[in-house]
Amino acid sequence: QQQVKQSPQSLIVQKGGISIINCAYENTAFDYFPWYQQFPGKGPALLIAIRPDVSEKKEGRFTISFNKSAKQFSLHIMDSQPGDSATYFCAASFQAGGGNKLTFGTGTQLKVEL
């Protein structure tokens, strides 16, 4: 059972453009939604995270938009740079009895071209 669906599977963006990755979840008990960035040969690294009591969170060039009623959230990367080329994973967890255990999406491979 895939509880977090992520799209697109891959994305090519020009340098300076906006990268947008979308996720949808099924379990309404989820209350923590992080995004992770993974480079080849490395483990995932936390990029930015949001809780459902806010609709948007911005950290530098990275913004999460959250729509609780639609059970969807998205990552926007502004002014995309070649160094942003990586695989991005959305994830979700619930704290009450969830143990901070994350359920991941299937990933989006982002390539930023010059």
- Asked if 103 and 2 touch (Cβ cutoff 8 Å), the reply is no
Site string for other proteins, 52-81 (x = CB under 8 A): ------------------------------
Does 95 help bind other proteins (rule: CB under 8 A)? Answer: yes
Contacts with other proteins in 23-52 (CB under 8 A)?
A: 32, 34, 36, 41-46, 49, 51
Q: In this complex, which beta carbon is closest to other proteins, that of residue 17 or of residue 106?
A: 106
Encoding tokens for residue 111? 């390539």
Does 83 help bind other proteins (rule: CB under 8 A)? Answer: no
Of 17, 13, 28, the residue nearest 72 (C-alpha): 28
Of 100, 105, 44, the residue nearest 72 (C-alpha): 105
Helix (H) / strand (E) containing 6: strand 4-7
What CA–CA distance (Å, rounded) separates 9 from 51? 24
Q: In this complex, which beta carbon is closest to other proteins, that of residue 15 or of residue 51?
A: 51
Does 11 help bind other proteins (rule: CB under 8 A)? Answer: no
Residues engaged in binding other proteins (CB under 8 A): 4, 6, 32, 34, 36, 41-46, 49, 51, 89, 91, 95, 99-107
